[in-house]
């Protein structure tokens, strides 16, 4: 991480990561745009990884009971060769939904990484997020109702997994694309959001491990040299993430995604205009 990253910058970036990882407006896109707009150095891969692990901690804090139940049910499903338990099915759905992102990350790593250096690309992808959220709500209006998480099917998990792979592009919201895919498959908003957060856990963990392997040679010393900003960013991301998860789950029980679609539309368009003007 650059030595010029101070505690205030780390705190702000931790807040941005914690809020936008779960609110469907793209955390990766905001972590590109905020330093660019404020004239800060771009966060290092190490700092970015630990911010994401802060939000991973947030998911584990909020859903620890669900994860324990799913882990136990998953083992039992293998022993008994049965998927009668809804928790076991959810666990297997997470496995299925993780595969597309893993494949995309392994085979398209260099291409995806190039987009993180381009604010114009982020602006364009934010418009994609805005469109996905708007279209998903249009589908809800036409179909009505919605299924619970316990009623998910294998095709639902695969479709949501493909949407998560799309979110490897900075500016395409991971939570936004997966919630939108869940809505398109007829799953209720709050239930789609819950599965989105659960599904993101192995993806965030795996991506973080791969990034740490990349920086283990050249940037490992930054962990000790900049321990204070890294710790501050990590803690702020975790705390903000817990609040963001709880607020969004409550919000989506009775509200639509249109406000987030509008936000992504405005920020994406403004980014493109500002980039071209500059």
On whether residue 265 sits in a domain, the answer given is yes
On whether residue 2 sits in a domain, the answer given is no
On whether residue 143 sits in a domain, the answer given is yes
Residue 4's pLDDT is: 64
Q: How many CB atoms lie within 10 A of CB 247?
A: 13
On whether residue 95 sits in a domain, the answer given is yes
From CA 25, how far away is CA 44, in angstroms rounded? 22
- Would you give the end-to-end CA distance of the chain in angstroms? 26
What letter does residue 149 receive in the DSSP assignment?
G
Question: What backbone phi and psi angles, to 5 degrees, belong to 146?
Answer: 160, 150
pLDDT at 221 over 70: no
Place of tokens 């392994």: 106
On whether residue 115 sits in a domain, the answer given is yes
From CA 195, how far away is CA 173, in angstroms rounded? 15
Bridge partners of residue 210, in order along the sequence: none
Residue 47's pLDDT is: 85
Pick the range with the lowest mean pLDDT from 99-108, 186-195, 266-275: 99-108
Residue 248's pLDDT is: 94
Under the banding of pLDDT at 50, 70 and 90, the label for residue 2 is very low
Annotate 248-266 with DSSP letters as a single string. Answer: HHHHHTT--SHHHHHHHHH
Question: What backbone phi and psi angles, to 5 degrees, belong to 187?
Answer: -95, 140
On whether residue 196 sits in a domain, the answer given is yes
Task: Give the C-alpha distances (Å, rounded to integers) separating 104 from 90, 197, 208.
Answer: 22, 19, 15
Structural domain range at position 272: 7-74+86-277
* Number of domains forming the structure of the chain: 1
Q: Which residue has the higher pLDDT, 40 or 210?
A: 40
The answer to whether the beta carbons of residues 127 and 264 sit under 8 Å apart is: yes
Closest alpha carbon to 57 in 86, 93, 17: 17
Pick the range with the lowest mean pLDDT from 66-75, 144-153, 209-218, 236-245: 209-218
pTM for this entry: 0.89
On whether residue 79 sits in a domain, the answer given is no
On whether residue 81 sits in a domain, the answer given is no
Burial class (CB in 10 A: 0-12, 13-18, 19+), 65: exposed
Under the banding of pLDDT at 50, 70 and 90, the label for residue 1 is very low
Closest alpha carbon to 233 in 14, 3, 5: 14
Average pLDDT (39-64) is 89
């Amino acid at each position: 991480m650059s030595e010029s990253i101070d505690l205030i910058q780390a705190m702000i970036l931790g807040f941005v990561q914690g809020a936008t990882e779960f609110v469907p407006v793209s955390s990766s896109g905001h972590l590109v745009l905020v330093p660019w707009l404020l004239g800060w150095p771009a966060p290092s891969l190490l700092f970015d990884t630990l911010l994401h692990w802060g939000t991973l901690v947030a998911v584990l804090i909020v859903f620890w009971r669900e994860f324990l139940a799913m882990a136990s049910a998953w083992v039992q499903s293998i022993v008994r060769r049965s998927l009668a338990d809804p928790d076991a099915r959810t666990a297997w759905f997470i496995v299925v939904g993780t595969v597309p992102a893993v494949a995309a990350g392994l085979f398209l790593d260099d291409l995806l990484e190039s987009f993180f250096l381009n604010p114009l690309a982020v602006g364009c992808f934010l418009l994609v997020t805005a469109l996905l959220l708007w279209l998903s709500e249009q589908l809800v209006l036409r179909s009505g109702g919605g299924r619970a998480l316990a009623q998910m099917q294998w095709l639902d998990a695969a479709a949501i997994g493909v949407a998560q792979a799309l979110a490897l592009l900075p500016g395409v919201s991971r939570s936004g694309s997966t919630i939108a895919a869940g809505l398109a498959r007829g799953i209720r908003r709050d239930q789609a959001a819950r599965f989105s957060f659960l599904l993101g856990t192995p993806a965030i963990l795996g991506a973080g491990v791969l990034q740490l392997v990349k920086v283990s040679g050249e940037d490992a010393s930054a962990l000790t040299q900049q321990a204070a900003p890294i710790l501050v960013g990590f803690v702020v991301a975790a705390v903000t993430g817990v609040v963001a998860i709880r607020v969004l789950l409550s919000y989506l029980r009775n509200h639509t995604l249109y406000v987030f679609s509008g936000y992504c539309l405005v920020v994406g368009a403004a980014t493109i205009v500002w980039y071209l003007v500059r």
